[in-house]
Amino acid sequence: MIRPTSGLIGALTTVAVITAVMAQPTKKAPPSPPTPAPAPAPAPNATSNSDQSNIDVAYGAFQRGFYLTAFNEAAKRAQQNDPAAMTLLGELYAQGLGVARDDSKAAQWYKMAAAKGDRDAIFALAMFSFQGRAGPRSVDDAARLLEAAAKLGHPSAAYDLGLLYIQGQQFPQDFKRAAELFAVAAEAGNSEAQYALATMYKEGRGAPKDIGKATRLMEQASVGGNIDAMVEFAIAKFNGDGTTKDEAAAARLFLKAAHLGNAVAQNRLARILMSGRGMPADPTEAIKWHIVAKAGGNSDPDLDVFASKQSPAARDAADKAAKKWLSTVAARRP
């Protein structure tokens, strides 16, 4: 499933179905509507016709968590009409870092920077419009701002705009245009876009069907930390679809994604530990991950049968281990 970035509200059109592994269909629930987040602070090279070193000081302070210093340095540059400094001030107000959160002031700084062509500020205003921060929520205004930021090469704007073309409400539905926008963002290293574009190559929708390209993009997105891509690439690696078959490498990816909380990966890991393919068989660990996966909504009748055939001691140990894992995860939640 193509998943929106934090900038978009609402579930968007599904364009992919994950391929099954080990004869067990993958089941994924649609994502919950995400909460938009402010745009990231501008990169130091976002400035133009200004003293680069001074905005580097402000940005460097921001990265190190010295927000009051970042604010003071950015304020100096903003007085000299530096758009990147204005965007940074908007970000500080938007997140309440070093200053009290103030959406109105954040929007004012973003608008000043956007008027000077700063793509980060334009993207930030799009996010504000999606959220209804500092004014009425307007998806149409947000879409227009995304289009402007995407034209200036903003990767996340290109990705979000592609999602809108798939949705087909603010713009006519156009999968080919969506794929083009995803490609721009993917080339810039956006892992969500890499995953989305991989899905389109995999399904042959909006782009020519090409399993090899799909798998390579899935691998890139996996390396970039996209958990869904990690699971899909592990599936491809396990089956040898579009890449070299390597069950051990697939098992390692499933293990990583399982620890990151992906129920599909937890189920696949349980099946691997049940069968001993990719890593040594371990009935207790298999049952543990099966219990964890079930708690995440991914049941498996075959593993139920497998668990019922194990010794009471193995089942008890697995149950205790699963409860410990689940309680630890629950304790970490905000």
DSSP per position, 250-267: HHHHHHHHHHTT-HHHHH
pLDDT at 333 (0 to 100): 82
Can you tell me the distance from the alpha carbon of 120 to that of 329, in angstroms, rounded to the nearest whole number? 35
Whole-number average pLDDT of the chain: 86
Flag whether 58 is in a domain.
yes
pLDDT at 325 (0 to 100): 95
Least confident of 40-49, 75-84, 103-112, 228-237: 40-49
Phi, psi of 21 (to 5 degrees): -130, 145
Question: Could you tell me where the DSSP H helices lie in the chain?
Answer: 52-64, 67-78, 83-95, 103-115, 119-131, 139-151, 155-167, 175-187, 191-203, 211-223, 227-239, 247-259, 263-275, 283-295, 301-308, 312-332
Q: Report percent pLDDT > 70 for the chain.
A: 84
Do residues 142 and 148 make contact, with C-beta atoms less than 8 angstroms apart? Answer: no
Domain-ending residue, one of 117, 148, 170: 117
Flag whether 281 is in a domain.
yes
Is it the case that residue 312 has pLDDT exceeding 50? yes
Kindly report the CA angle at 317 between 316 and 323, in degrees rounded to 5? 90
DSSP string for residues in 41-69: PPPGGG--SS-HHHHHHHHHHHHHT-HHH
- The number of folded domains in the chain is 2
Domain-ending residue, one of 83, 101, 117: 117
Flag whether 78 is in a domain.
yes
Can you tell me the distance from the alpha carbon of 206 to that of 146, in angstroms, rounded to the nearest whole number? 20
Mean pLDDT score, 230-246? 95
Flag whether 238 is in a domain.
no
Indicate the pTM of the whole model.
Answer: 0.79
Q: 133: alpha, beta or left, given left = phi > 0 and alpha = psi -120 to 50?
A: beta
Is it the case that residue 54 has pLDDT exceeding 80? no
pLDDT band at residue 53, thresholds of 50, 70 and 90? low
Flag whether 140 is in a domain.
no
Flag whether 182 is in a domain.
no
Is it the case that residue 159 has pLDDT exceeding 50? yes
DSSP string for residues in 123-136: HHHHHHHHHTTTS-
Can you tell me the distance from the alpha carbon of 94 to that of 134, in angstroms, rounded to the nearest whole number? 10
Is it the case that residue 79 has pLDDT exceeding 70? yes
Domain-ending residue, one of 117, 145, 168: 117
pLDDT at 52 (0 to 100): 52
Flag whether 56 is in a domain.
yes
Mean pLDDT score, 69-90? 95
Instruction: Convert the pLDDT of each residue in 198-212 to its tens digit.
Output: 999 999 999 999 999
Do residues 207 and 179 make contact, with C-beta atoms less than 8 angstroms apart? Answer: yes
Flag whether 316 is in a domain.
yes
Phi, psi of 24 (to 5 degrees): -115, 120
Can you tell me the distance from the alpha carbon of 61 to that of 63, in angstroms, rounded to the nearest whole number? 5
pLDDT band at residue 260, thresholds of 50, 70 and 90? very high
**Which residue would you say has higher pLDDT here, 259 or 39?**
259
Mean pLDDT score, 56-80? 93
Instruction: Convert the pLDDT of each residue in 119-130 to its tens digit.
Output: 999 999 999 999
Distances (CA, A) of 7 to 80, 159, 170, 179, 256: 30, 10, 15, 19, 27
pLDDT band at residue 27, thresholds of 50, 70 and 90? very low
pLDDT at 45 (0 to 100): 44
pLDDT at 43 (0 to 100): 52
Least confident of 1-15, 56-70, 238-252, 303-317: 1-15
Instruction: Convert the pLDDT of each residue in 110-154 to its tens digit.
Output: 999 999 999 999 999 999 999 999 999 999 999 999 999 999 999
Boundaries of domain holding 313: 247-332
Least confident of 1-5, 244-248, 271-275, 296-300: 1-5
